[in-house]
Amino acid sequence: MWCGRGRPPFTPVESNDEGLARNVASLPDGAARSPDVLAYPEADVPQVVPGEAPAKLQRGFAKSVCERYGALVDLVPQEITDVEALKLLAHPMRQRIERQLRDGPANSAALARALGESTGLTSYHLRQMAKHGFIEEVPELSKGRERWWRQVPADRRIPPYSRQTPEMRVAVEEMNRLDFAEELEQFTRFQLERDDLGEWADALAWSRSAMRLTVDELKEFLEEYVKLLYRYKRPDEETPPGARVVLARMLAFPAPTSADDGE
C-alpha cells in the first residue's frame, strides 16, 4: 500500500464533478472499484515563521508517509516494517511537527512557538523522529546547543494489509484515523473561510467515481496518480505568481460486498 499526500502549489482551478469512466463491456473478471479525488486550497494555519532559516534551505512542498507522504519519483521505495516507527507516525504531536517541517527547516524553539508547546517537548519528539530517520539535523544552521531539523526525503510505504502484524495494524489504523480527522478539519476550515478567498473560493476540484478494476489495475492507477502529482511539484523559483498550497487527496478502495454493483 502507498499513502500519498500531495501539497503542490497550484493556480486556481474550476470545480469539476465528472467521474472517471470505464467501458464496462471490456472489464476483466475479479474487478473492484473506485477513486474519490478532492483538491482545495489549504486553510491558513499557524506555521513556523518564514525566514527563520535561509531561503535556500526552505522546502516549500511536502516530501514526507507513505512519504507518509509524498515521494520523489526517483527515490527507491522504502517499506516501513518497524512497529515503533509506525507508532511514531501515528503520534498526534509528531504529525503536527511533520506538517510544520514541510515548510522548511526549524528548531525546537520555533516549533514550540508555532504549536503552543514547550521547547522540551518538541525537542524530545524531534529526537525520536531523527532516531527513526524521518528527519535529520541541518549542520550548517545548528549553533552550539541550538539544533535545526529538516525532513528526510523518501518514498516511504506501509506494507500491504496482508503482511501487517496485528500490532502494525493497530498503529496504521490509528495513523489513518488521525489523518482523516485532520483532513475533515482542514476542509471544514476551507469552507468557513471561503467568503474571504476571492478567486480561490471557486478552487475546489472534486471528482467521484466507481470503476471496475483488478488489484493490479488499482496499483497502476495509484502510480499514475502519483506521477501526475509530481508533474506539478516544483521548486519555489519555478512556481508562478499567485500560486498557493493546494491539498490534494485521493482515496480508492473496494466497495463493500453489500454495495450495488451498478453504482
In this prediction, residue 81 carries a pLDDT of 87
Check pLDDT > 60 for residue 27: no
Residue 70 · residue 62 · CB < 8 Å: yes
Average pLDDT over residues 35-60: 46
More confident of the two residues 74 and 1:
74
More confident of the two residues 57 and 115:
115
Distance CA 154, CA 70 (A): 8
Residue 16 · residue 206 · CB < 8 Å: yes
Q: Which of 17-31, 71-85, 91-105, 107-121 has the lowest mean pLDDT?
A: 17-31
Check pLDDT > 70 for residue 46: no
In this prediction, residue 212 carries a pLDDT of 93
Q: Which of 41, 60, 45, 46 is nearest to 199 (CA)?
A: 41
Check pLDDT > 90 for residue 76: no
- For 95-107, give the DSSP string: HHHHHHHTTS-EE
Reported as type and span, the H/E element at residue 118 is: none
Residue 89 · residue 154 · CB < 8 Å: no
- Which among 97-101, 110-114, 239-243, 253-257 has the top mean pLDDT? 110-114
In this prediction, residue 22 carries a pLDDT of 34
Check pLDDT > 90 for residue 90: no
Average pLDDT over residues 24-39: 45
In this prediction, residue 125 carries a pLDDT of 93
Domains of the chain, earliest start first: 9-252 (1.10.10.10)
Residue 44 · residue 247 · CB < 8 Å: no
Per the document, the length of the chain is: 263
pLDDT tens column, 118-156? 999 999 999 999 999 999 999 888 787 889 999 888 778
pTM of the model: 0.60
Check pLDDT > 90 for residue 110: yes
In this prediction, residue 237 carries a pLDDT of 81
Distance CA 153, CA 106 (A): 16
pLDDT tens column, 163-188? 999 999 999 998 888 888 888 888 99
More confident of the two residues 260 and 45:
260
Average pLDDT over residues 232-249: 85
Distance CA 169, CA 162 (A): 10
Check pLDDT > 80 for residue 113: yes
pLDDT tens column, 51-74? 344 433 333 323 333 333 333 445
Cell 535545526 belongs to residue: 148
